[in-house]
Amino acid sequence: MFKGLKPIQYNGQEVWPLIEGGKGVAATNHASSGAWAAAGGIGTVSAVNADSYDEDGDVVPQIYHGRKREERHQELVQYAIDGAVAQVTQAYEISNGKGAININVLWEMGGAQQVLEGVLDQTKGMVAGVTCGAGMPYKLSEIAQEYGVNYLPIISSARAFRALWKRAYKKVPDLMAAVVYEDPWLAGGHNGLSNAEDPRKPEDPYPRVKALRDTMRGEGIADTVPIIMAGGVWHLRDWENWIDNEELGQIAFQFGTRPLLTKESPIPESWKSELTKIKEGDVLLHKFSPTGFYSSAVRNEFLRSLEARSERQIPYLTEQEGEHTHQLDVGVKGKNFWVSKADLLRAREWVGLGHTMALKTPDSTVIFAAPEESKMIRKDQADCMGCLSHCGFSAWKDHDNFSTGRLADPRSFCIQKSLQEIVHGAPVEEHLMFAGHGAYNFGTDPFYSNGFVPTVKQLMDRILTGD
């Protein structure tokens, strides 16, 4: 057993302070989270577009029939509720009364409150707690209180926690079981970088977590409420000075990337194989997500194509002014696109290379895309099923008039489509592959040598040694 690591009290029983990160759109399911709990930790079922099953146990394809986005959005919400209920029920059975089962919700997903309430309504007694981030989920504590479950807010700074606590969480202090600090430079998936933080200059997590604990102490929150360190956690021995540290109080650790490569992990073999090939620096912190948040994913062909698409971009004005002295004569219809001479020459060059379609962005620029790429972008925008509360790619909003009021942004992509396809076996190079920045360890950690893929129990036993 690793020095200093002791079980903690959670949901009325002792568990290891090791939490499985909840990876959305079916990348964490009942098999992985149930096994994690059965091994004595806290397993996390993702309630973000989880898979549901038919009578034969086969995955139900998420096909949308509604003509309007609002209709497809309600179909998506129902898929999400049915899927998460199925996953929680089976995970709870696998756990066999050991550890605990949490669910994870992306607050910025479309219909988040409706989904969360729908799941908790049908899984009473099975869900120990709800982790929730990506946005400012002020209503999380209120929902937790209504259903009698713990809540574990995911934040990336003491400032964000203070805002949530002051506005809402201080009214329901007893159910806040932990605070998840998700490092915005190291974690996979969506990252909580603020405008004041530089994505190119990672900050040491220790002083940020100490500031969080100081804030919690200032609000009267006991040191026994753990801070869960998430993002960049691989070997516990690397965090030895965090354990039993009076400055930090009780610390627990979340593992998001490592559980992807286990026997129980639901991701396809092609994805598991690709994980072992990742080199240091291959995970890119980028801002292509339609949520508007930064996110971290493997810099594969899919991400490189998004980078290239944005590089084929020029600003325009609707009237001749300043350097905008030339009319754009390629890729567009009409004459009200005034650009600089240098940009006109660049645009002509891109068109000569086959990128013949100019698509307007919300920022008074146009990007150039090949006809097939342009057709795919337009189709994906038209097929939007409202998976986010606000979507930059399709200009969807899940309330009021269902529109963000901005032009749909062709520099982004349909995240629900891409994540659904990669997790169900589509080529990994062609879709978004989320991963934490420590994923390169799969290729260097001797635990995974000779193609070894552990069970969740074997992984937990390994983690508990410090490795």
Query: DSSP states of 65-76 as a string?
Result: --SSHHHHHHHH
Residue 196: pLDDT band by 50, 70, 90 thresholds?
Answer: confident
The strand order across the sheet containing 283-286 reads 189-191, 294-298, 283-286
pLDDT exceeds cutoff 90 at 237: yes
Residue 166: pLDDT band by 50, 70, 90 thresholds?
Answer: very high
Return the residue matching tokens 């036993």.
Answer: 461
Lowest mean pLDDT among 16-25, 140-149, 188-197, 368-377: 188-197
Residue 159 has a pLDDT of: 94
Lowest mean pLDDT among 52-61, 193-202, 269-278: 193-202
Alpha-carbon gap, residue 232 to 441, rounded angstroms: 10
Encoded tokens for 69: 């986005």
Q: Write phi, then psi, for 161 (nearest 5 degrees).
A: -65, -45
Q: Is 236 helix (H, G, I), strand (E, B) or coil?
A: helix
For residues 185-207, average pLDDT:
92
Beta bridge partners of 295: 190, 286
75-123 pLDDT tens trace: 999 999 999 999 999 999 999 999 999 999 999 999 999 999 999 999 9
Note the CATH architecture for domain 8-278+442-464. Alpha-Beta Barrel (3.20)
**Cβ-proximal residues to 344 (8 Å cutoff; 6+ apart), any chain:** 326, 328, 329
For residues 236-254, average pLDDT:
96
Encoded tokens for 458: 């074997």
Residue 431 has a pLDDT of: 96
CA 391, 392, 396, 401 dihedral sign is: positive
Yes or no: say if 232 and 437 are a contact pair by the CB < 8 Å rule. yes
pLDDT exceeds cutoff 80 at 1: no
For residues 298-309, average pLDDT:
96
Residue 125: pLDDT band by 50, 70, 90 thresholds?
Answer: very high
Percent of the chain with pLDDT over 90: 93
Alpha-carbon gap, residue 263 to 458, rounded angstroms: 10
Alpha-carbon gap, residue 363 to 338, rounded angstroms: 15
Query: Where are the CATH 3.20.20.70 domain residues in the chain?
Result: 8-278+442-464
Residue 258 has a pLDDT of: 97
- HSE-up (13 A, CA, CB side) for residue 394: 25
Residue 335: pLDDT band by 50, 70, 90 thresholds?
Answer: confident
131-142 pLDDT tens trace: 998 878 889 999
For residues 204-222, average pLDDT:
97
Residue 133 has a pLDDT of: 87
DSSP state of 181: E
Alpha-carbon gap, residue 447 to 462, rounded angstroms: 8
Residue 238: CB atoms within 10 Å: 13
Encoded tokens for 33: 């989270």
Alpha-carbon gap, residue 441 to 448, rounded angstroms: 9
Alpha-carbon gap, residue 55 to 32, rounded angstroms: 21
The string of DSSP letters for 379-437 reads: HHHHT----BSB-TTT-BBSSTTSB-SS---TTS--HHHHHHHHHTT--GGGS--B--T
Residue 136 has a pLDDT of: 82
Encoded tokens for 102: 């949490």
351-405 pLDDT tens trace: 999 999 999 999 999 999 999 999 999 999 999 999 999 999 999 999 889 999 9
User: What pTM, to 2 d.p., does this model score?
Assistant: 0.94
Yes or no: say if 4 and 246 are a contact pair by the CB < 8 Å rule. no
Residue 337: pLDDT band by 50, 70, 90 thresholds?
Answer: very high
